[in-house]
Structure 1
Amino acid sequence: MNHIMANRSAITGRYISNAAAARHPKTTVVEKGPNNSSGTHHRSADTGQFVTSAHAARNPKTTVTEKD
């Protein structure tokens, strides 16, 4: 099974290189595997955990919003 790993900047929402992710660990989210859900989700770059919309609004530079 092929597991896709990608680094996404919480600030820009763009995919970034492994080197850039290593330089900015607090504002980088590592995505693993396929996303099989639908809707809008917010993930903390600090913890990697899903967070509420309110948390995402308060912390836009350390939260990635994923839309399906």
Structure 2
Amino acid sequence: MAKAYRSARTGRYVTKATAARSPKTTVAESGSNRSSGTHHRSAITGHYVTKATATRHPNTTVTERG
């Protein structure tokens, strides 16, 4: 399955080259979000974070809606 890369700042899909240039603000996605609800993920660590953390760091957090 191909990976897709998404910018944490704009929410738009970006190329692999763009993701390589900006690793702290780009998230690699490898599949669909099969769960329900909203989740927030750090673009820097890749870990899921709380809503409060996502609010404090909007440029480096991706919001995934299920």
What TM-score comes out, normalization by structure 2 length? 0.92
Say which is worse superposed, 31-40 or 54-63, in terms of deviation. 31-40
List alignment gaps of at least 5 residues for structure 1: none
Moved over 6 A (4+): none
2:15 to 5, 14, 17: 17
What is the total number of aligned residue pairs between the two structures?
A: 66
- TM superposition shift of 1:37: 0.5
- TM superposition shift of 1:20: 0.5
RMSD: 0.9
The answer to whether the Cα contact below 8 Å between 1:42 and 1:66 also exists between their aligned partners in 2 is yes
Aligned residue number for residue 25 of structure 2: 27
Alignment pair present for 1:54 and 2:52: yes
Say which is worse superposed, 5-14 or 29-38, in terms of deviation. 29-38
Aligned residue number for residue 35 of structure 2: 37
Identity %: 64
The answer to whether the Cα contact below 8 Å between 1:4 and 1:34 also exists between their aligned partners in 2 is no
Aligned residue number for residue 63 of structure 1: 61
